[in-house]
Amino acid sequence: MLTSHLTGRVLHVTLDRPEKRNALSLALARRLAETLDEASSDDKVGAILLTAAGKGFCAGMDLGEMGRVEPAELGQVHERLFTCGARLRKPLLAAVHGTALAGGTGLVANAHIVFASPEATFGLTEIRLGLWPFLIYRAVVAAVGERRALELSLSGRVFAAEEAARYGLVHMVCPLDELMPQAESAARRIAESSPGAIAAGLEYVQTYRNAELAGSLRDRVMRSADFREGISAYIEKRPPRWPSIAN
């Protein structure tokens, strides 16, 4: 259902329901949210890379469960999962191939950096089922803008990776055989950066309109041991050894 393993400082998290096109059952959505939150507070993790097994990334909500799960419970789990991009203090990267529809697009919108293969497809297809993408809408708006999110929600149309890149939902489109190497390389590079600076930066991104908080975060980072080490490493022309990385 979900697998994870730590390689260096990169936590690889894989959706593993290929027989269901990695549809988000209640159990899978809950476990994914728990895994991401645990990684966010784990000093050994410097970055998270979300991938999927099989031919597609994620087909969205598991419609086969409808009628067997309580809407309130499902809503609570989805609210936690689809706000992870705003809550995590570790960078979340996604490598997307095949379909990423409805909730799958919601996961992509929550990732901080997204790689996709050319054949990957996206879409807010909920309207076709008589539903609206309520819980993923905020993340999609943050990724593509309000007017584009509205158009995609109303039309329910499916669109390709190059179009997703033009909207800002996807950052880099690369051939399928280069998808994982490029995503893994980016995750490793990011995981080498100061955890303290990244955490403060992600917090700032979510609240950057608050000038007082921005100044407080900047002061905190500039007083940190990581910043002192970064300056020393730059002057001494050597790789930094971040004090905040757990040994």
Rounded Cα gap, residues 91 and 46, in angstroms: 8
Rounded (10°) angle between helices 211-222 and 225-236: 60
Amino acid at 51: T
Sign of CA dihedral 182, 188, 192, 195: positive
Question: Does the active-site annotation cover 79?
Answer: no
Amino acid at 207: T
DSSP bridge partners of 6: 11
**Residue in 34, 126, 163, 236 annotated catalytic:** 126
Rounded Cα gap, residues 231 and 174, in angstroms: 35
What element of type H or E holds 159?
strand 158-160
Neighbouring C-beta atoms of residue 56, cutoff 10 Å: 22
Task: Tell me the backbone φ, ψ of residue 20, rounded to 5 degrees.
Answer: -115, 20
The per-residue DSSP string of 89-110 comes to SS-EEEEE-SEEETHHHHHHHH
CB 91 within 8 A of CB 112: yes
Rounded Cα gap, residues 214 and 200, in angstroms: 9
Q: Which residues are catalytic?
A: 126
